[in-house]
Amino acid sequence: MVDASQIKEHIEIVGSDGIHVGTVDHMDGSDRIKLARKDPAAHGHHHYIPLDWVESVENDKVRLNKTSQEAEAQWQHDNAEKLSGGPM
């Protein structure tokens, strides 16, 4: 598993296919990454991905072990956003 301290704010997250998934907002605890909601791929919502999806961190990029499509289909949503239907 990747060391969470390697994951820095504002770096790009890409799928195993090299396609943009999002931008790191910050680490949420020690085991998941919060994605920036201002990234166009986020559609105005915060999303979260587990640290165990991270294959590597290099050249200021987080590379996942899932394709961009798999990541977007499986990422987690903030419970408050899910209930209200909008960003907090």
Residue 76, domain extent = 4-81
CATH number of the domain where residue 48 is located: 2.30.30.240
Evaluate whether residue 30 is within a structural domain: yes
If you search the block for the tokens 């990029």, which residue do you land on?
A: 61
What is the CB-side half-sphere exposure of residue 57 using CA atoms within 13 A? Answer: 18
With a CB cutoff of 8 Å and minimum separation 6, the contacts of 28 are 34, 48
Assess if residue 54 is contained within a domain.
yes
Q: Residue 75 falls within a domain, yes or no?
A: yes
Q: Is residue 50 part of a domain?
A: yes
How does the average pLDDT of the chain come out, rounded?
89
- How does DSSP assign 59-72, residue by residue? TTEEEESS-HHHHH
Question: Strands 32-35, 61-64: parallel, antiparallel or unpaired by DSSP?
Answer: unpaired
Residues 18 and 82: their CA atoms lie apart, in Å, by 28
* pLDDT tens for each residue of 1-28: 688 999 999 999 999 999 999 999 999 9
Residue 57 has pLDDT above 50, yes or no: yes
* Overall number of domains in the chain: 1
